[in-house]
């Protein structure tokens, strides 16, 4: 079920009414309702996806008890069983065909011919997200940061909570499970904040991202015939398309969770105002970045065991992050590009320069130095996004080559103007809100007008139900 669909606009108030007016006297029944709603939400695409989600959830629930044993040898065995189980699910549904085709091509280079068997199955939506939920749970138990949950319903809600099920944020058991296990009371202020976040998320998705998507699709489909400037504008448009799409989803997810008394982890903090790549990754898809940091980068030794191992671990985490997004060399290239951008900061010990401050925190405008840093960082990120958006490596390289050499074709000023008309207001709004990513800081007198305008724009553009980009991951 899509957030930007009529079905969800009917589904959400029904669940909300049942949750607060029918099941409000019993925490157990509230959690049962959330679980049923989550499986209905997920099964809207296919009931087969529900089966895989249920099996994955049940296995990690059992593994949690094994990992919690005092015998560390047995606990480690169950930990590896969980890792192999989750990676096995990902491997079969998401990566098997990729490796099979690579094996076939490798044999062909040796003059050997092989007919590999490919799986003709759809990749279950959100599979990378809920498998990472399960693995973080057993990792935390093994490290003594979480105790095994006895109530299966509570654990199942943690894995499948519908606002975050298909595209995150990737929650931690230590953060979400305590909220699931304690009594929740309706809070008007929290619910109002949730509604505002949902409205803002829908605006970014329906009005900004979906409009830019049409332009971006057309540019990438005809990049051979377009002027170089049009290709540059197309890459910039995709940067804001994927930002509006994914951060819009996260806003809707956080807002929806607030309606039911939950606070989810922040997933975005205005990443395009970053002053270097390290800061960008502290602001973009924060839950995934922190997941890889805590469960891969630090266990590998991080950067505390010498520069050489720090460089190795940096490339590992970025390449794995790229491969997490999809079974295609373009995603690995995308991760490798970001690793190369991060590397100079690591070697110069500047990768933690901007860890908590906000650009121009006490000023209305950035300094010239801050502005140049943000522009350079955005340009680098946009360059990398071309690999992410292109169909494959060949198209990405051809697109970038065209952006540099295609200057014989006529310029499309109307397209460039249209892109600017959508991204400039978004940049201005984000700059106004940059000190608090959780709420819409609007002057009291202007609130009714602002909310009405946003709602009318969403309704005007609401129509074509397009998937969120990160659903495919």
Residues recognised as catalytic: 325
Taking Cα atoms as reference points, which of 173, 366, 197 lies closest to residue 272? 366
Q: 456 in helix, strand or coil? A: helix
User: Nearest to residue 159, comparing CAs of 30, 299, 12, 50?
Assistant: 50
Q: How many Cα neighbours within 13 Å face the side chain of 437? A: 19
Q: Which two tokens stand for residue 216?
A: 């971006």
**Could you give the C-alpha distances from 401 to 224, 254, 386, 407, 416, in angstroms and in order?**
10, 40, 11, 11, 19
The radius of gyration of the chain's CA atoms, rounded to the nearest angstrom, is 23
Q: Is residue 411 left, alpha or beta, with left meaning phi > 0 and alpha meaning psi from -120 to 50?
A: beta
* Pairwise CA distance, residues 92 & 141, whole Å: 26
- Distance between CA atoms of residues 190 and 265, nearest Å: 15
3-class state of residue 351 by DSSP = coil
Q: How far apart are CA 266 and CA 287, in angstroms?
A: 7
């Amino acid at each position: 079920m899509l957030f930007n669909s009529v079905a969800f606009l009917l589904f959400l108030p029904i669940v909300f009414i049942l949750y607060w007016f029918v099941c409000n006297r019993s925490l157990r029944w509230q959690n049962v309702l959330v679980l049923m709603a989550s499986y209905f939400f997920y099964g809207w695409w296919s009931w087969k996806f529900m089966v895989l989600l249920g099996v994955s959830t049940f296995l990690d629930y059992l593994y949690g008890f094994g990992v919690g044993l005092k015998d560390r040898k047995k606990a480690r065995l169950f930990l590896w069983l969980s890792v192999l189980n989750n990676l096995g699910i990902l491997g079969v549904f998401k990566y098997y065909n990729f490796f099979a085709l690579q094996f076939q091509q490798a044999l062909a280079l040796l003059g050997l011919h092989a007919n590999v068997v490919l799986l003709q199955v759809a990749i279950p939506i959100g599979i990378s997200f809920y498998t990472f939920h399960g693995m973080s749970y057993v990792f935390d138990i093994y490290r003594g940061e979480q105790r095994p949950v006895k109530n299966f319903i509570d654990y199942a809600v943690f894995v499948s909570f519908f606002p975050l099920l298909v595209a995150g944020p990737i929650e931690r058991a230590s953060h979400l499970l305590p909220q699931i296990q304690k009594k929740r009371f309706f809070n008007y202020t929290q619910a109002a904040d949730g509604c505002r976040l949902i409205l803002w998320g829908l605006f970014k998705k329906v009005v900004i991202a979906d409009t830019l998507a049409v332009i971006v699709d057309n540019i990438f489909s005809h990049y051979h015939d377009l002027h170089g400037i049009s290709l540059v504008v197309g890459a910039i448009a995709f940067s804001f398309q994927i930002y509006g799409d994914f951060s819009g989803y996260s806003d809707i997810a956080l807002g929806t969770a607030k309606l039911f008394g939950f606070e989810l982890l922040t997933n975005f903090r205005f990443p395009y105002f970053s002053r270097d790549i390290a800061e960008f990754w502290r602001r973009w898809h924060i839950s995934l970045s922190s997941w890889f940091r805590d469960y891969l980068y630090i266990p590998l030794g991080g950067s505390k065991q010498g520069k050489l191992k720090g460089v190795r671990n940096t490339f590992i985490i970025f390449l794995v992050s790229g491969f997490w997004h999809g079974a295609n060399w373009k995603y690995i290239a995308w991760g490798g590009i970001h690793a190369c951008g991060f590397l100079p900061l690591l070697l110069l010990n500047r990768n933690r320069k901007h860890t908590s401050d906000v650009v121009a925190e006490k000023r209305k405008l950035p300094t010239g130095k801050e502005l140049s840093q943000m522009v350079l960082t955005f340009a680098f990120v946009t360059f990398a996004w071309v690999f992410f958006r292109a169909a494959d490596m060949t198209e990405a390289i051809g697109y970038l080559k065209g952006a540099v050499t295609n200057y014989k074709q006529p310029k499309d000023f109307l397209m460039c103007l249209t892109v600017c008309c959508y991204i400039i207001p978004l940049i201005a709004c984000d700059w106004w809100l940059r000190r608090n990513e959780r709420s819409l800081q609007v002057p009291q007198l202007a609130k009714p007008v602002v909310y009405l305008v946003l709602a009318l724009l969403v309704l005007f553009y609401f129509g074509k139900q397009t998937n969120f980009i990160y659903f495919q991951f």
